Amino acid sequence: MATLNITYNGLSADYALELDARVSDADIRRIAVEVVRAGNVPGLALPHLTDNAFDGFVVDRLQGGQRIYLRPKVPFGAGV
């Protein structure tokens, strides 16, 4: 069991899911779109979310993949 934390439009929410350890970042983004659209993420029910809503988002895997963060890119540490 893993926890996917999704940050979108200033909101952040957790979603528990069974996940293969080899799932790609693209699959994480696709899964996030599906569960948010379906209203399965408490506090993040967006039925009209576009297919590409999480394109360009970063996938961070912590605690051996048990905690996954899907978040927007930030300029911090980018040397800009």
Residue 80 inside a domain? The answer is no
The predicted structure's pLDDT at residue 3: 95
* pTM of the predicted structure, to 2 decimals: 0.88
Which pLDDT band, with edges at 50, 70 and 90, does 77 fall under?
A: low
The predicted structure's pLDDT at residue 75: 73
For the chain, the domain total comes to: 1
4-53: pLDDT as tens digits: 999 999 999 999 999 877 899 999 999 999 999 999 999 998 999 999 99
Q: Which structure tokens are listed for 44? A: 């993040």
Which pLDDT band, with edges at 50, 70 and 90, does 72 fall under?
A: very high
Give the CA count within 13 Å in the CB-facing half-sphere of 48.
0
| Domain enclosing residue 13, as ranges | 2-71
Tally of CB atoms within 10 A around 56: 9
Residue 79 inside a domain? The answer is no
Length of the chain: 80
Residue 76 inside a domain? The answer is no
